Structures are given as structure tokens and as C-alpha cells.
Structure 1
Amino acid sequence: MADNERGALFRKSVANQHSRVTYAELLFDLVFVFAVTQISHTLLGRFTPLGAIQTTLLFLSVWWVWVYTSWITNWLNPELTPVRVLLFLLMLGGLVLSTSIPKAFESRGLWFAIAYAAMQVGRTVFLLVSTPPDRTLARMNAVRILVWLLMSAMFWIAGGFAEGHWRLALWALALAIEYVSPAVRFWIPKYGASSVADWVVEGGHMAERCAGFIIIALGESIVVTGATFADLAWTTETVVAFVSAFICSLAMWWIYFHKGAEAGSEQISRSSEPGRLARLAYTYLHMPIVAGIILSAVADELVLTHPADHSDLKTVLSAIGGPLLFLIGTILFKHTIRGWLQLSHGVGIVVLAILAWFASDLSPLMLSLLTTAIMIMVAAWESISLSSGEPQSQSEATSA
């Protein structure tokens, strides 16, 4: 491939206009609707300490392979055939990855590892080959990323051959390598570490991609709720539980999208260091947001199937932990883009923590109603405070 042809695969930046999310990227994202569903069902089926650790590792790997692809398509143009073919191949890998999730720590561990490593390494090799030699900084970054991913791939494959706790340990090490690498700016011998200025990113596109994943998670939550409700007898308890779960999903959407998503897109588009903001706010801080939505989906299914029973530990952890993770991720994300902590979110976190003390004495339905009420309170409080101009005074107080 000639240098000018390779350079042509990169997106063309247009002043005052962010690159739109393409249809090929949206099609790629559909695979992860399935992946998120697999993760929530896997957690529901093995809600034990070990099962929770294993499912968390699987979630972190799914998020990481998706967000790395979003970085690549932020640089490369998916409207071009070679990049589209790359995305289609990654979709195939994503389907193998997703179908392996329920038995990733059993009979399909090697399939999961091969699919994951192939997606991570193969995509980065494509980036390196697509980068012309005259783009020195971009080429050096591709080399750095590839070295780190090759190192982690060895542990993924080794874990696929291993069994039991050895598989968990090897995969945890592989994942730790990948999560640490951006924080140390992909330092490798000879090349050193990249600088923040090297990470040229189109902020609006990155913000829109991550907002799309939030939609995926919320959509999966609603699908799980609807599918579970459809198979149940429609009693007063199940109908109320269904409505509560649906409204809680709407409240989560409101908390993230009403002001936060737009503010994040504007902030990263104006930032002098969009790469740093993209790494912190979108690569790392969106993880607890998505995890909270997935855990809430697990809670919704538990409440729907046993609305009037005693709230066991599994129900309490998911019903409280889901909204709690979501609010923790959201308050940190908004702090990164606004520079101050959202009071409504902080109060919501405290109230959820207090509710946890009494949760075991409540029925699953009552627990669902209370957590939904808390999320509605947070959403309404933020909307009113932002409309009244309260954030300005908070920001000034923080800076003072």
C-alpha cells in the first residue's frame, strides 16, 4: 500500500465540525448489545463472590475491546472500504467473544482468549500498516500500543489453555497490563512514552461513541425487563415492578443525557488536550456508568420474578449497587468536564448508602420503588439546578 493511500484512510478534519458516527460503526455496536446481554445473564446465573469477579473481568474486557475500536475509528475513516472490512472482521470476532462469555471460565475459555487477542492485536496491526511513515507521532503510538497488546495477548492465550484459578489469574494480569498501558502512556524501551499532545482525537466523535454505548446498555436493560415481564403473570406486584424498572431506566437516561452528554461533547471539542480528556472521562470513567446500568438490569429481573419475597443479598447488592455505580461514574465524569461535583449526585449516593442499611428488611418491590425514587430525585434536582443557574455559583465556590 502506497504512503498516500495509507494516509487517505485517516479521517479528514473539518474546522468547527466533528466527525459523525458512521453507519458501519453503529452496525459494529450491535454486536455489543449481545455482549452486554450475555454479561448480565452470566452474572445473574452465578451471583457468587467468584462469579462476580469473573463477570467483572469479562465486562472490563468487553468494554476495553469496544473503546479501543472507538479510538481507532476516531482516527480512521469507516466510510472507506478497507476500514469497513476491518470493522466487519471485528464484528465476527466480537460475536465469537460474546457467545463465549457464559462459558469463558469453562469450556470456551480458549475461544474467548483467541477472539479477544485477535481483535486487539489485529486492529492495531491494521492501524500501523495504515499509518504512512511521514506521520511519525501516529506511527510511534501505533508501535507502542502494539507492543503492549502483544504482551497482554500472551497471557490471554495462556489463560485460555489454563483452568480454574490459573485462568482467572492470567487473564487478570493480561487485563491489568492493558488498563495500565494508557496511564503510563504506552511507555516502551527506545520509543519512551507518548505525550498527551500526541493523542490527537476528534472529541465530539468520541463523546458521541461513548454516549452510544450508554444507549446500548440502557436498551439491553429495557429488553431484559420487557422479556422477563412478558413471561410472567401480570399481577399488581409484577406490573408495579415493571413500571418501576422502566422509570428507573428513564431516570438514568435523563441523568446522563439531559445535560451531561452534551456538556461533555462541547468540553472535549474545545479542550486544548482532547486526548487527555478522552482517556480519563470516556475511556475510564464511563466504565462504572455502564457497569451500573448492567447491574441494575440484573436487579430488575430479580425484582420482577420475586417482587414480594424477602430481599436476599443478591437482590440488595444489585438493586443498590447498580444505581450507586451509575451515580459514582456519572459524578466523576461530570466533575471531569465541568470542574465541580454535582450536589444532586452526591446526595443520591449518600441516600443510596443509607438505604443499603435497611434494604434487607424491605421487599424487592419496595426496594425497587425506593431506588427509582432516588434516581428521579437526582434527575429532577440536577435539571432544576442547572436551569436556575445554580452550577455557576457552585463552580465559583469551588474555585474560591
Structure 2
Amino acid sequence: MAGDNERGALFRPIVPNQHSRVTYAELFFDLVFVFAVTQISHTLLGRFTPLGALQTTMLFLAVWWVWVYTSWITNWLNPETTPVRILLFLLMLGGLVLSTSIPKAFESRGLWFAIAYAAMQVGKTVFLWLSTPPGRALTRMNAVRITAWLSVSAVFWIAGGFAEGYSRLVFWAVALTIEYISPAVRFWIPKYGASAMADWVVEGGHMAERCAGFIIIALGESIVVTGATFADLRWTLATVSAFASAFIGAIAMWWIYFHKGAEAGSEQISKSSEPGRLARLAYTYLHMPIVAGIILSAVADDLVLTHPAEHSDSRTVLSAVGGPLLFLVGTILFKHTFRGFLQLSHGAGIIALAILAWFAGSLSPLMLSIVTSAIMVVVAVWESVSLRSGAAEPKSEAAQSDATSA
């Protein structure tokens, strides 16, 4: 009995009508992923070919997944306890190995990347399993299910680390597929079946705050990349204009996500009768295109700063238009999960960017950056004005629940 109580003490205390705050240990852990995001954007910038883009996308999916799984774990476990803090510090070490391996993950450091990733994913889930007292049968069974799925994917990660060339790509694609479909099928395993959504008890406000924190990480990384590139350039009218456009674009992205969306999402998941479902859809899956869009926009900012007046090649067009487009697609779907309707301003922005893509090649990189930033500013202002004027009234809780279930 004493052992059960001791293990149960590792879980976050439940305080009615109050969501758990993000701890300093979690913020410290996130610093590793500032580095990881920077490594991803630099890797894409250095190998912006179809194959390089595919490889970098897979690395991004892995980095996001290991981070979001850790956020789920610390949503249940209490980082203020010493064992959980030690777990986070060990995960930070694994994250540093993972991050430093990113540029050569498909070359000489593939095995290092695979070992670090598999150890982080399986290790923290086993820790959750062992930390859960038998009295928490549903939570313990969920940990068993997750461990089973991650153990299978770990085999493909390690096999890919030993493989080379396209074989590594295939092995890792299989591993990512296993991991990404597992929450959708609720971690079904033979004999024990799948978990019920009611089993996924999450502290919604904490999950929303954690994912908002990762958006800050991505936006901060884009500003660091832009600032570092700008500092090394000769300050001309073109480079200063490109820097200003990149900065305004980053502010617009922040405004679109945080001005109304982040707070509304946090409030809705805190009140939801099925917070696990909303956390899985809105924060686990739909935040991926948001973060990917910010990273891709950072790549565009670097390209525009270094060649503001030249011809817009395919790399510049894809990143300058594709980054904001991915971001808006992610935010419109994210906000739909708790508002129950598609934001008109975001839809208009998506259409405007799609139209821009048709003739973007005829614009200079600087002009392309200015136009995309202007579109994002219009979306941000439009949404703010429409919500302030009451044009988008909140739906009833029942309607929001239906939208979430969809």
C-alpha cells in the first residue's frame, strides 16, 4: 500500500476549477527544442530539394512527436517531484543528442538519432507505467498500450539507423506511421483492445499552455534566424525592408494565434466533457501544420534577406507562400475545433495565398515577402475586428462538443 501511495504521489494533484501551471522544469526542458527547431530550419535551408524536404519533414515530425508525447506525460506526472524532474533532465540529454544529430541524420549520425529518439519515447512511457499504482487501472493500462506501440516503432527506428540511403527513409517512414496512427486508433492492442476516450483524463489548461509555449519557441527561433542573418549583411534599403517585412510577418502570426485563439482554446478544453479527445485532435495533430508553417516561414525570411532583389526561385516561392499557408490551414482547423465554424478571415487568407502562388515567381523575393506579410496582417486585423464587433458569437457548449467530436 505504501508503494502505491508513493508512486501515486508522482502524479499532478487535481485542484478543482484550477488548471495546473507549466513548471520551470518543463520550460527548462523546452530549451532543448529551441535548438532542435533551429537545426530543422537550417537543415531544410541547406538541402532544399524534393528529397531534402521529405527528409527534413520526417525529422520535424519526429521532433514534434517526441515533444508532444513528453507534454502528455508531464500533464499526468508532476514535474515538481524529484523523480519526474530527473526524467525530464534525462530526456533533455536525449534531446540534445537528437538535435545535434539532425543535420546528418540521413548520413553518418542516423543511428545516434534513432537511438536517442527511441530511448526518449519508450523510456518515458515505461517510467509512466512503473509510476502508476495498480489502483489507477485505466491510466496504467493506457501506459501499457502506449509502450507496446512505441516499442514496435522503436524497432523500425533502430533498423533505419543501421540502414542507409532509401532503406533508412522507408524504415523511418514506417516508424512514424505507426506512431502517428496509434492515438487515432486509441492504442489498440490484441486481447486488451483500445482505450476509451473517457480514459484519457488530461488537464486541459496545462496542455493548451504547453502547446502555446511551443508556438513561442518556433516564433522565437524564426526571429533568431532572421536577426542572425540580418546582422551579417550590409544594411541597405532592400535588406532593411526585408528584415522589417519578416518581423511584421512574425508579429502577424503571433497575433493570429494568441490574440483570441490560444485563450479561447484553453478555456474550451478546460470546460470540455472530453478533454482527451480535444487534446488529441487540436493540440497533438492540428498544431503540427502551425509549427511547420512558422519554421518554413523562417527559411523564407533567410532566403529573402540574402537575395532580396533577385529572381524568386522555387525555394523562395515554396517557403514564402507555403509557410503562411500551412500556418493558416493549421490555425483555421485548430480554431474550428472549439468555435465550431471556419474563420472567414483565415479562409480568405488561404485563398489569397493560393492565388499569389500562381504569379509569385514574377515577383522579387522582397516584394513576395511584403505581400505575404500584408496578407497575414489583414487576416489578423480582420479576425480581431470581427470578433470584437460580435460577428462571431461563441456557440453553445453542445455545438462546440459536436464540432470537437467531428
SS in 2 for 1:391: coil
Q: 1:298 and 2:320 equivalent?
A: no
Measured against aligned partners, the alpha-carbon deviations of 1:269-299 in whole angstroms (never above 9, x if no partner) come to 0000000000000000000000000000000
Structure 2 vs 1, CA of residues 319 and 229 (structure 1 numbering), >3 Å: closer, same or farther?
same
Measured against aligned partners, the alpha-carbon deviations of 1:134-178 in whole angstroms (never above 9, x if no partner) come to 110000000000000000000000000000000000000000000
Q: 1:357 and 2:329 equivalent?
A: no
Q: 1:165 and 2:166 equivalent?
A: yes
Residue aligning to 1:68: 69
Q: Distance in 2 between matches of 1:5 and 1:388?
A: 52
Residue aligning to 2:124: 123
SS in 1 for 2:157: helix
Measured against aligned partners, the alpha-carbon deviations of 1:88-107 in whole angstroms (never above 9, x if no partner) come to 00000000000000000000
Structure 2 vs 1, CA of residues 393 and 102 (structure 1 numbering), >3 Å: closer, same or farther?
closer
Q: Distance in 2 between matches of 1:79 and 1:338?
A: 34
Runs of 4+ in 1 over 4 A off after TM superposition: none
Q: Distance in 1 between matches of 2:183 and 2:362?
A: 44
Map 1:182-221 onto structure 2 (within 5 A).
Answer: 182-221=183-222
Letter in 2 for 1:71: W
Measured against aligned partners, the alpha-carbon deviations of 1:103-144 in whole angstroms (never above 9, x if no partner) come to 000000000000000000000010000000111000000000
Q: Distance in 1 between matches of 2:392 and 2:383?
A: 9
Structure 2 vs 1, CA of residues 393 and 15 (structure 1 numbering), >3 Å: closer, same or farther?
closer
Q: 1:227 and 2:249 equivalent?
A: no
Structure 2 vs 1, CA of residues 393 and 283 (structure 1 numbering), >3 Å: closer, same or farther?
closer
Q: Distance in 2 between matches of 1:68 and 1:394?
A: 31
SS in 2 for 1:259: helix
Q: Distance in 2 between matches of 1:24 and 1:175?
A: 28
Preserved CA contact (<8 Å) 2:75 2:207: yes
Q: Distance in 2 between matches of 1:114 and 1:187?
A: 25
Residue aligning to 1:145: 146
Cα deviation, residue 255, structure 1:
0.1
Aligned-pair RMSD on alpha carbons?
1.5
Q: TM-score by structure 1 length?
A: 0.98
Q: Distance in 1 between matches of 2:78 and 2:206?
A: 12
Map 1:330-345 onto structure 2 (within 5 A).
Answer: 330-345=331-346
Cα deviation, residue 392, structure 1:
2.1
SS in 2 for 1:200: coil
Q: 1:245 and 2:250 equivalent?
A: no
Letter in 2 for 1:163: E
Cα deviation, residue 337, structure 1:
1.1
Q: Distance in 2 between matches of 1:145 and 1:348?
A: 38
Q: Distance in 1 between matches of 2:89 and 2:338?
A: 33
Residue aligning to 1:323: 324
Q: Distance in 2 between matches of 1:166 and 1:336?
A: 38
Cα deviation, residue 394, structure 1:
9.4
Structure 2 vs 1, CA of residues 368 and 77 (structure 1 numbering), >3 Å: closer, same or farther?
same
Preserved CA contact (<8 Å) 2:340 2:395: no
Letter in 1 for 2:298: A
Structure 1 unaligned runs (5+)?
Answer: none
Residue aligning to 1:266: 267
Letter in 1 for 2:215: I
Preserved CA contact (<8 Å) 2:339 2:395: no
Measured against aligned partners, the alpha-carbon deviations of 1:197-249 in whole angstroms (never above 9, x if no partner) come to 00000000000000000000000000000000000000000000000000100
Letter in 1 for 2:352: V
Taking only the aligned residue pairs, the percentage that are identical comes to 83
Q: Distance in 1 between matches of 2:225 and 2:255?
A: 20
Letter in 2 for 1:47: F
Q: 1:10 and 2:11 equivalent?
A: yes
Q: Distance in 2 between matches of 1:21 and 1:190?
A: 37
SS in 2 for 1:2: helix
Residue aligning to 1:103: 104
Letter in 2 for 1:373: A
Residue aligning to 2:47: 46
Structure 2 vs 1, CA of residues 394 and 308 (structure 1 numbering), >3 Å: closer, same or farther?
farther
Letter in 2 for 1:185: R
Q: Distance in 1 between matches of 2:192 and 2:135?
A: 16
SS in 2 for 1:390: coil
Letter in 2 for 1:95: L
Q: TM-score by structure 2 length?
A: 0.97
Q: Distance in 1 between matches of 2:307 and 2:385?
A: 35
Map 1:299-314 onto structure 2 (within 5 A).
Answer: 299-314=300-315
